[in-house]
Copies of this chain bind each other. A is one copy, B any other.
């Protein structure tokens, strides 16, 4: 105990300096992560030997605490707390740890269904097991493969109605290098190892069939290995800001143009946007828009129901972590030359901080777009042309979950719009097959024959965003604007028109919506109106919708029931952030957007959260093999009577950019 006490004291001393500068929503620092670990490991609650960390993140103060702190940011920093999920003795332990007084505030064992995030070390350990397992070595030999070229990977297995809690198991599947790094298109079919992650033992091994591994030829994607003919090259192009970027980063807070926002890294959500406010020059203040926004879940069910594939119905955020899967971004390729990078930190299995360099990038985007324009030629004797180029602020992160790469952008426009965009790239998940030509195929192959012996399997992507809009305050309402056909009274030759009827949506069940009908969806502040009397709000310009095609009572759809609609609104509840549940791995679907909203809470004039899903049904094509050209989708949150008038009307026309010109006389 004495040594623990000493460590705590010294840690608190160390923390006292940087924490003065910290923002209450800043992610845990490496020192804070270390401190959390020490506090938990130092307690008598759990044995040190068996404890593994699955999630370590900031336990945020309440919204009211944060907002009151922000209104007077000069006073001392708020107490810092962490939320931790750890595994020990085959149980999930939840801790709330106070960093300010170095103690565990609460601790309990989670007895519900599902398991926490997988950490990287246990995935790695599970991957290694087979290589010391004689039947596996025999299977590899039987196939005539070189075991040095075998690449394992952990696949979560979902839940298929098993009554008893069947353990924290995953399947390890195998892929083959042999001349290409593109292992995902070279599966070793037939072999599956079921691993219990808590016991870290193989609980089941199967070698059902031998299918030849698809050829390596044509699967390489590294530029250094490419041989002519190359795709046509174009001349260099880059973005230049001779006077540097316009945004200011202070810790995790960014200010740019009239925007102000906070960025944080979370091992599960990846990038978290908080406290996005915009300065209104009429009201002379920063106005609240988005209290918090992040990807909540990413549901990717594959559409092959056979023994080797049926369980592949991933909840990528909750199982693998969008932060844990975030990659180090590269300047000039992942992000443009004018980007600034930020790091992220997460706790590994032992609770040690791990740095993820360049986890986000921040840049100003100018793509030649136009923010607004008009040419006036009705006025005789003059032609007026006024154009403002569209420059925006982008915060980007990329998560690579095994084969797939998700490029996620939050874009802030000077006009007040917030856009979220997702780009899908990476490698299609493929199944080895004996087919070498489509004419041989007489059955459903559940996908597309993309090259010889390779079927890219049909699947969906549902990217569900958590959007805690607080339009000018926490108390908001959800309004559905319906465009309705009206018949005229015959006083003019026109027979019809449409009118907008705005309907206040009072409860959660009524706020379950598909955006396939002409509808305007607004989050408004019911207590605030423009000078003209219009309700102040933001509207959702929805992204691509994909209506789920799984049966509603099929297990993956029960777990992924947050995709049953593409718009939901919930009453704010600090614990309801993960659309597929806090314990998503092997979840039973009892903690989802669907179950929460079945309570049908009142959402009128309350602190509410908007949820929106971008969906893709993906039937692969050869053009997407062996790496997929990016497919884009996104949505926009657009001011709707939020401003008294266009807030960038008085944006000054840009001056010519004074690029450095060079004097030819060199010594």
Contacts and interface: CB of A to CB of B under 8 A. Distances in A.
Interface class of chain A by DSSP: loop
Interface in A629-667: 629-631, 638-663, 665-667
Interface stretch (A80-88, A197-205, A442-450): A442-450
A305 B494 contact: yes
Contacts of A656: 332
A555 B493 contact: yes
A370 B183 contact: no
B375 A394 contact: no
Interface in A61-102: none
**Which of A483, A532, A651, A654 has the most B CB atoms < 10 Å from its CB?**
A532
Interface stretch (A1-9, A105-113, A232-240, A504-512): A232-240
A343 interface: no
A285 to B, nearest CB: 13
B665 A665 contact: yes
Interface stretch (A187-195, A268-276, A484-492, A568-576): A484-492
A495 B158 CA distance: 13
B243 A235 contact: yes
Contacts of A629: 371-372, 413, 415, 417, 646, 648
A-B complex: 10 closest residue pairs judged by Cβ atoms: A438-B533, A367-B367, A160-B493, A234-B246, A333-B387, A415-B629, A310-B494, A336-B368, A498-B549, A495-B554
A503 interface: no
Contacts of A230: 650-652
A58 to B, nearest CB: 26
A42 interface: no
Interface stretch (A138-146, A399-407, A579-587): A399-407
Contacts of A330: 385, 387
A151 B444 CA distance: 67
A444 to B, nearest CB: 5
A417 B363 CA distance: 26
Interface in A601-619: 617, 619
A484 B617 CA distance: 11
Interface string A155-191: 0000011000000000000010100011100000000
A373 interface: yes
Contact of A279 (B183, B232, B236, B363): B232
Interface stretch (A16-24, A47-55, A217-225): A217-225
A257 B234 contact: yes
A337 interface: yes
B549 A237 contact: no
A497 B396 CA distance: 33
Contact of A226 (B231, B385, B650): B650
Interface string A359-391: 000011111111111111111100011111111
Contact of A338 (B237, B388, B641, B651): B237
B400 A494 contact: no
Nearest to A495: B554
Contact of A246 (B235, B371, B398, B663): B235
Interface residues of A, number: 192
A304 to B, nearest CB: 7
A416 interface: yes
A623 B643 contact: yes
Given A372-B630, A405-B374, A645-B218, A240 B243 contact: no
B232 A257 contact: yes
Contact of A532 (B279, B451, B551): B451
A305 B497 contact: yes
A36 B425 CA distance: 52
A492 B307 contact: yes
Interface string A416-446: 1100000101110000000011110000101
B488 A305 contact: yes
B222 A657 contact: no
A46 interface: no
A625 interface: yes
Nearest to A416: B623
A160 B281 CA distance: 47
A649 B665 contact: no
A174 B16 CA distance: 69
A590 interface: no
A547 interface: yes
Contacts of A553: 495
Given A549-B498, A630-B390, A153 B378 contact: yes
Contact of A242 (B236, B256, B496, B640): B236
A630 B370 contact: yes
Contact of A662 (B218, B451, B663): B663
B414 A232 contact: yes
A12 interface: no
A303 interface: yes
